[in-house]
Structure 1
Amino acid sequence: MNALQGRRAIVTGGSRGLGLAVVRELAARGAQVVVLARDPGRLRDALAGLAEQAFGVTADLREPAQVRRAFAEAGERFGGRLDFLVNNAGAGSYQPVERISDEEIAHQLASNFTSAVYCARSAIPMLRAAGGGVILNVSTEAAQQPVSGLALYGASKAALESFSLALNQELRADRIKSSIVRLGRMKDTGFSKGWDPVMRAEAVARWQAEGRFAAAGEPMELDTVARTIVDLLAVAPGAQARLLDLREFDAGM
């Protein structure tokens, strides 16, 4: 029996990388998905071929008014009910603290933390109307294992983890579960695609000197991570994974 057939999900940052892999996995299992992303062209291209299962809504999740509008559109499509929210959207760049700009501080905090708060706030009434559900927040190993040049990125994700755990206390009576997936390295995420080349080269040289790549292990395949995330959404109502620390499996270890 397919536990996800006909279920309703919202995925943020779903037009590329891990978010899109999660959208495709949900659709393959029969879920209906509303995908939130900022770029309308990229969103349209990402959802080509998923017309029966996925619907895109363009929104800048850093703006609370746009989040309210996006969730209102999703509510109209889903009859006011929601089973799953996947807070996947996020952003980070290599920025030593003394050089980070005011704009970048605001951008990373909004992209990685307050946007997820806005989305959770809008999702809760819809999850309650469905009799319960799951808010799944995507975090990173940098939240617990600090990385040079990614201090703000890791700190904003650590705030997301604390927020996620607190949600469990608030929402238990409503049968709404809040879960964290803390991810290690992944392939093809596009995480550093927009970085300045000079900054990227500086980051790579520093992390190599610190032995970070060797310590982090091999990167995971996006599809493997996406399947695991969707498996967590499908966990039976009487169980919950509050925090899953997900890394590449090395059979030789």
Structure 2
Amino acid sequence: MNLEEKKVVVTGGSRGLGLGLVEALVAHSARVTVVARDTNALASVRTRLGVATISADVTDESAAHRILKEIDPDILVLNAGAKPHMGRLDQLSWEDFSVTWETDVRGGLYWLQAALKIPLRSGSRVLVGSSGAAQNGSPLSGGYAGAKRMLWLMAKYANGISVQNKLGIRFQAIVPQQIIGDTGVGDAGANAYARAMGVARDQFLARFGKPMPPREFGEKVVSVLEEAKYADGVVFGLKGDAGITVIEGAAA
């Protein structure tokens, strides 16, 4: 897929990993619309990068349908999510434990349903943001690991519906396989685990090997979209030193 002039919607694209992806997409001449809640952050990214912006809550089901109908994107990237409350299992209330389920999974459900029901055009791509926690767990972040695994599974479920209904939409999960500093979720996790281990934040992050800052993450996602060898994969692992790994191949 050549990204030039392709219409791309990125949820949660005003900061962190989402912003790094938006920067990479703009550099590859895509026509990007960023969806997020923070109007100040949206104004900043709009001014700096010249992208279109929409202020909306990703857990607003009607907004998902309205935005996808209006923009009719070639690519949808579901990146938005809540910063998890950090703490051990025995320290968290249900409200704290479930925050990522109420935001990441609930929002993911609505946007995936909208993509399938409208539906997006045949040949479109939907990328669903997951996490390495979905593979290995994350004992200090409550329901976060389970929520990210659920999003991974939902991308696979959506592929099955696309095949069954002959929609021609490809759903793919993106799995960063390291904690990424200087992002809201990454810093929350790094700080909590560094404290628990009695080491400095940077020492903890060094355990993952080569860093993968947001813009580099964005370039790797662009490669998943542009390179033919990734067109039929379903789940991709992204890491600073290992690059892109196909975790699960073509859907049946």
TM-score range, shorter chain: 0.7 to 0.9
Q: So what's the TM-score if we normalise by structure 1?
A: 0.82
Q: Deviations over 1:169-196 (max 9, x none)?
A: 1113211111111102223223256x6x
2:235 is aligned to 243
1:150 is aligned to 141
How far the C-alpha of 1:149 sits from its partner, in A, is 0.9
From 210, 213, 221, give the equivalent of 2:213: 221
Distance 1:118 1:98 in 2: 31
Distance 2:242 2:161 in 1: 38
1:189 is aligned to 183
How far the C-alpha of 1:212 sits from its partner, in A, is 6.7
2:108 is aligned to 116
How far the C-alpha of 1:238 sits from its partner, in A, is 9.2
- The answer to whether the Cα contact below 8 Å between 1:37 and 1:57 also exists between their aligned partners in 2 is yes
Structural mapping, 1:1-253, within 5 Å: 3-51=2-50, 54-68=51-65, 72-76=66-70, 78=71, 81-91=72-82, 92-125=84-117, 128=120, 130-172=121-163, 173-183=166-176, 184-191=178-185, 203-207=193-197, 213=205, 215-236=207-228, 239-249=231-241
- Structure 1 residue identity aligned to 2:184: G
Q: So what's the TM-score if we normalise by structure 2?
A: 0.82
- The answer to whether the Cα contact below 8 Å between 2:5 and 2:29 also exists between their aligned partners in 1 is yes
Q: Report sequence identity in percent.
A: 25
Distance 2:62 2:242 in 1: 45
Distance 2:117 2:226 in 1: 20
- The answer to whether the Cα contact below 8 Å between 1:4 and 1:234 also exists between their aligned partners in 2 is yes
Gaps of 5+ in 1: none
Aligned length: 236
Q: Deviations over 1:204-226 (max 9, x none)?
A: 222458x9756533431221110
Distance 2:14 2:109 in 1: 20
Q: Deviations over 1:144-182 (max 9, x none)?
A: 111221241111001111111111111132111111111
Q: Which moved more, 1:59-68 or 1:40-49?
A: 59-68
Compared CA separation, residues 27 and 95, structure 1 to 2 (3 A): same
How far the C-alpha of 1:248 sits from its partner, in A, is 1.9
TM-align CA RMSD: 2.8
How far the C-alpha of 1:25 sits from its partner, in A, is 1.5
How far the C-alpha of 1:240 sits from its partner, in A, is 1.7
How far the C-alpha of 1:229 sits from its partner, in A, is 0.7
How far the C-alpha of 1:3 sits from its partner, in A, is 0.8
